[in-house]
Structure 1
Amino acid sequence: MGTVNLERAGNPLSLKGELLRFVFEVYRSTGGAYPALEWVDEKPSPDDFEGFRRVYGPFLEFRLGKEFDELYILRRDGEIAGTVALVYELEGRDVWWVPEEIKNEKTGLIEFFMVHPFYRGRGYGSKLLDFAVERLLSLGKTPHVVTFPHLDAYGYYLKRGFEKVMDYGGFVVLRKA
């Protein structure tokens, strides 16, 4: 079956190269739908790693170094099978995609939630999401997700007990019920 471990990344920036390749595999498997790269005028082809690296690399570095409060990596036999990040220190942070109404000390965001396409359908997403929800609750935070309504993830979150709180620009904000 293989060894599966969930580990907290002590130095997320040290994983940038490995994570960039992982995220690119997710990007490829979704035909370029996720990550959405909504700030890019001309999105790279889902087969263009170098184009993806140029566009997404600086954003990933920002997220790893300045945005995520905690990053967890699910590994199967040493390979990244999934990721989830928590953001809960929202005050004073440049998180333009989070509505002011939920930027408070009670909000915890689940971010960077992805499963490698090879490992989908094995329960790893459920394991990561359950862990993230429990971790935020243990910190006294209310779990939230900011996503896009057109992504498959939107329906997944609803099935997993999240409820829509509001539309915000092109995003939708969900909260664990």
Structure 2
Amino acid sequence: MRILRVEEPLKLREALIEFVFHVYQGTEGAYPALEWVEEKPSINDFKGFKKAYEPFLEFRLGKEFDELYVGKEDDLIIGTVALVYNLEDKDVWWVPGEIKGKKTGLIEFFMVDPNYKGKGYGSKLLEFAIKRLKELGKEAYVITFPELEAYSYYLKKGFEKVMDYREFVVMRYKLHPTGAGE
């Protein structure tokens, strides 16, 4: 897998909607959670998914993400990860004020194609994101839902729960994936 920075994220919007829909199907509608949608589309309703998700994705690509990366095999997107670290300038209501400082870097939009799950691609993307944030002088955080599989995954990868915030769990990277301390 090659990890590539996306210089103009909005130009990749259509491919990303299709990729995220594939993740939505593969997680039986669990991710993305679409928590703002009153009636979530079925996992076979691409039009309904696109209608609900596209405005949110456009906001994230255009105004939220500071850096976006895709993991590719051949020309196929098999994973994504975004970094958000200029938090003071953004309307990120799901981020608690206590962590909105200059040292915080969020790992967002972290997904792997369900067909590639369990093959180490997610670990490579996550390790890349943690390393990149460290290069920028930031502490790596993730904000997820406690009921998602991602929560236990992050715990295994060296993140620790910092707090509950609204319906989310805020986690900070503490350990190396091997379990050794920094």
TM-score category of the 2 structures, normalised to the smaller one: over 0.9
Find 2:82's aligned residue among 85, 92, 98.
85
Match of 1:130 in 2: 127
Equivalent residue, structure 2, for 1:108: 105
| Counterpart in the other structure of 2:153 | 156
Q: What is the number of residues matched between the two proteins?
A: 174
Amino acid at match of 1:165: V
Name the SS for the 2:62 alignment partner.
Answer: helix
> Would you identify which runs of 4 or more consecutive aligned residues in structure 1 move more than 2 Å?
none
Q: Whole-Å Cα distance in 2 between the matches of residues 37 and 101 of structure 1?
A: 25
**Shift in Å at residue 92 of structure 1?**
2.5
Q: What secondary structure does 1:91 align onto?
A: helix
Asked if 1:75 is matched to 2:39, the reply is no
- SS state of the match for residue 88, structure 2? coil
Match of 2:143 in 1: 146
1:46 aligns with 2:43: yes
Q: Distance in 1 between matches of 2:103 and 2:42?
A: 39
1:111-135 Cα offsets, whole Å, 9 max, x none, are 0000001111111000000000000
**Aligned pair partner of 1:26 in 23, 27, 43:** 23
Give the CA RMSD over aligned residues: 0.5
Percent identical across equivalent pairs? 66
CA distance in 1, matches of 2:58, 2:12: 10
Provide the C-alpha distance between the structure 2 equivalents of 1:5 and 1:166, rounded to a whole number of angstroms.
34
- The CA deviation at 1:11 is 0.3
Give the secondary-structure state (helix, strand or coil) at the position aligned to 2:89. Answer: coil
CA distance in 1, matches of 2:6, 2:15: 12
